[in-house]
A and B are shown apart, each in its own frame.
Chain A
Amino acid sequence: MTSIVRPRVLPGFSLTLGYAVLYLSLIVLVPLAALFIKAAGLGWSEFWQAATSPRVLASYRLTFGTALVAALINSVFGFIVAWTLVRYQFPGRKLFDAIVDLPFALPTAVSGIALTAVYSQNGWLGQYLEPLGVKVAFTPLGIIVAMTFIGLPFVVRTVQPALEDLERATEEAAASLGASRWQTITRVIAPSVVPALLTGFALSLARGIGEYGSVVFISGNMPMRTEITSLLIISKLEQYDYAGAAAVAVMMLLVSFAMLLLINLIQRYATRRYQGAV
């Protein structure tokens, strides 16, 4: 071993690596493996049946659809928030910057009951929306609101550093070569921020798909209509259908891993493209 690796001055390599790998295996890898083994125990056809029954499919559609809408809303407004924070000076900017992280810091159950209180029939906003025929609490719209709340910081915090890294000189060059402000924004600024925006979108989407605490209170939890996938897993567990729950959980995990892979690919593409250009 030592002949291959260059001699090390610093001590503690085997101790720290050994401990890290052991702890990682015990806490993360073994329990995750248990999930896949449980689902595999079902056999292919039974697994597929459990993972694609009508009620489960309805929950996928609802969860994915609402998370997608929320991620799109967050991409638009998250970008504007990041832009204002990076480019403009205004009173209270520091405080505003800190407040953006509140959805990260607020326990999800607390966000859930707070949003429900605001949007329910006699809540602060609900009482004005109800007469307009807009029902938010206990409908898919409420789920979108909760997922938007929880996903906003992901977009802001990934786009913000990308905007900070932009060289003013590039914009000045574009302007002095005769580009209008709008052309500079759409042709110079936007392309270099797109990878960050896509990453933020994907993070927000992934968070929405997995979200539980902030959604269950406002969603109403009606099977086939307002039951998200996380809640469906819990109701399967309450009926001691562990194998069925494992099948749905495996599907959710595969989606999250795919999202993780996608995010990594976007970032790798972005670093290659933009570091190569410098």
Chain B
Amino acid sequence: MDAATLQPLPLGNVPSARVRAATEDSPIARWSLITVSVGFTALFVLVPLAAIFAEALRKGWSVYLASFTDPHCLSAVKLTLLVTAIAVPLNLVFGLAASWAIAKFDFRGKSLLVTLIDLPFAVSPVVSGFIYMLVFGMQGWFGSWLAEHGIQVMFAVPGIVLATIFVTFPFVAREVIPLMQEQGSEEEQAAITLGASGWQTFFRITLPNVKWAVLYGVILSNARAMGEFGAVSVVSGHIRGRTNTLPLHVEVLYNEYNFVAAFAVASLLALLALVTLGLKTLVESKLHTH
């Protein structure tokens, strides 16, 4: 039947091999690229991660768990928590204050201020610790004055806190500033006009609007504060049981060839990193839906 052969093919009869869109890569290209990228990441990222746990458990669970009962390890945990508990809230308050000033007002030098806030990220960790030695160390500006008054900053907890504040300085501010700028200030202006106080406006309107960005910044600062090594290493003095944070304790154990204990403590920090990644991914999805 001639008429029937001239009919366009009904949709159901399209050959089963799917037609590839012009903007799609061939399956061979696609799967080889996926293999390369997953392979590269596995080799460079997952293999070292797995090695931490393998080395830590090399002599079994009981030896692994015994590493944590060491009093020096416990004091390192306590110091790390203390330093983080001081540094992160201080940077949080700074980040919120800076964001309010930058996002809600216009003033001269604003872009300079934004650049300066990011400055600590450009400074090498070792240099970040060193600059505090030049201010508070024995050869430093206030060194002799501090010594006379019996205040120790370097090779003591205050120095570690300062170095940690420096390396985590921009995290909250750089997350919150762009979001607050994007949101403008109409809602706040309305609240103030309707008679709310400045603090009420901040806590009931501004903060809820940027809470996921704040949380994101806090998660990143927290991870960096607990894990910082270079800057803290310069100012700590490595006094066991007194000025060793967890990463420094890892180094001490490793240099003593106490590998199982070193990797056991390292596995604790690796778990912290994995929790951080999980929370970060969760908060990112919240940030994007808002």
Contact = CB atoms under 8 A, between A and B. Distances in A.
Interface of A: 5, 8-13, 15-17, 19-21, 23-24, 27-32, 34-35, 38, 77, 80-81, 83-85, 87-88, 90, 94, 96-103, 105-111, 113-115, 117-118, 123-125, 145, 148-149, 152, 168, 171-172, 175-176, 181, 184, 206, 209-213, 217, 230-231, 233-234, 237, 240, 242, 245-246, 249, 252-253, 256-257, 259-260
Given A27-B162, A175-B23, 17 more contacts: A5-B106, A24-B98, A27-B169, A35-B127, A77-B37, A88-B30, A99-B45, A103-B45, A108-B229, A110-B52, A113-B262, A118-B47, A181-B25, A206-B122, A231-B126, A242-B139, A253-B127
A148 B266 CA distance: 20
A11 B192 contact: yes
Q: Which of B122, B259, B276 neighbours the largest number of chain A CB atoms within 10 Å of its CB?
A: B122
B135 A106 contact: no
Interface of B: 22-23, 25-26, 30, 33-34, 36-38, 40-41, 44-49, 51-52, 55, 94, 97-98, 100-102, 104-107, 113, 116-120, 122-127, 130-135, 137, 139-141, 162, 165-166, 169, 185, 188-189, 192-193, 198, 201-202, 223, 226-230, 233-234, 246-248, 250-251, 254, 259, 262-263, 266, 269-270, 273-274, 276-278, 280-281
Given A27-B166, A96-B38, A213 B133 contact: no
A125 B44 CA distance: 11
Contacts of A145: 44
A109 B248 CA distance: 8
A8 to B, nearest CB: 7
A118 B55 CA distance: 10
Contacts of A233: 126-127, 130
13 contacts: A34-B140, A102-B277, A105-B223, A106-B49, A107-B250, A110-B266, A113-B250, A117-B51, A171-B23, A210-B125, A210-B126, A230-B125, A253-B122
Nearest to A171: B23
A20 B188 contact: no
Q: Which of B98, B133, B134, B259 neighbours the largest number of chain A CB atoms within 10 Å of its CB?
A: B134
Nearest to B280: A101
Q: Which 6 A-B pairs have the closest CB atoms?
A: A107-B227, A210-B124, A175-B22, A212-B230, A213-B229, A11-B198
Contacts of A90: 34
Q: Which of B94, B229, B276 neighbours the largest number of chain A CB atoms within 10 Å of its CB?
A: B229
B113 A10 contact: no
Nearest to A85: B37
Given A233-B126, A253-B123, A106 B270 contact: yes
Q: Which of A24, A123, A234 neighbours the largest number of chain B CB atoms within 10 Å of its CB?
A: A24
Contacts of B97: 15-17, 19-20, 23
B105 A34 contact: no
Given A125-B47, A212-B229, A213-B229, A10 B41 contact: no
